[in-house]
Amino acid sequence: MLNASYEPLNITSWRRAIVLLLKGKAEQVEHNGRYIYAEFPLPTVIRLRYYVRVPYKEIPLTRRNILERDRHTCQYCSYKGEQLTLDHIVPRSRGGGDSWENLVAACVRCNVKKGNRTPREANMRLRTQPRKPYSSLHFDIVKHTQGNLNQEWKKYVIGI
Ligand SMILES: [Zn+2]
C-alpha cells in the first residue's frame, strides 16, 4: 500500500486492499493480471487517496539488520549462506566507521581476500551501493520481492 505521496506505507492482504478500493479510499496502481471476479483484477499495488503521516523510526545498525538488508548475500561474490561476516568497505584501520554506508555482508573468503584494502585497491566490485534502509518496512519488502515475487513493487521502492 502506497501513501498518497507514492511512498510505501505497509504490506497488506489483497482482501483489505479490495475493501479499500471498493470504499473508494484507495486507487489501484498495479495488478498482476489475475482476476478474482470477472471485472476485478487482483491488486498488487494500491495508493491511498489521502495522505497519512508516518512517524520516523530509526532502524538500529546491527549485524542482523545489515545481513537482512543485504539479503544474506556476499556483496562481492554473491555467495548466499549462513557463514557471512561484515566487511568495512573502507577498513576501520584507515578511518572507515560503522555505518550503513560502510558496512556490507561479505563471505569469509572475500573478506580475507580484500583484507586491509578498499574495494578499488583490491579490485573487488560491490554488487550494490549500500544504503540506510528507510524503515523496517524495507526489510519486509525485501522478503516479499525475493526471486520473481511481486516484481511490480520494485519501482515504488528505493534501494531494493
Ligand atoms: Zn564473497
Q: Amino acid identity, residue 43?
A: P
- 28 forms bridges with which residues in the sheet? 46
Residue 24 has pLDDT above 90, yes or no: yes
106: phi then psi, degrees, rounded to nearest 5: -145, 145
pLDDT at 160: 57
Distance 159 CA to ligand 1 centre (A): 21
- Out of 12-16, 70-74, 121-125, 146-150, least confident range: 146-150
Residue 22 CB coordination number (10 Å):
10
pLDDT at 159: 59
Q: Do the Cβ atoms of 83 and 107 come closer than 8 Å? A: yes
pLDDT at 34: 81
Mean per-residue pLDDT, 148-156: 86
Distance 47 CA to ligand 1 centre (A): 39
Q: How far apart are CA 10 and CA 65, in angstroms?
A: 19
pLDDT above 70 covers what percent of the chain?
98
**pTM to 2 decimals?**
0.69
Rounded to whole angstroms, what are the CA distances from 126 to 17, 20, 45, 72? 37, 41, 31, 14
Taking a 5 Å cut-off on Cβ, the residues next to ion ligand 1 are 74, 76-77, 79, 107, 110
pLDDT digits (tens, 9 = 90+) for 67-119: 988 989 999 999 998 889 999 999 999 999 999 999 999 999 999 999 999 99
Distance 99 CA to ligand 1 centre (A): 20
| Look-up of cell digits 530509526 | 58
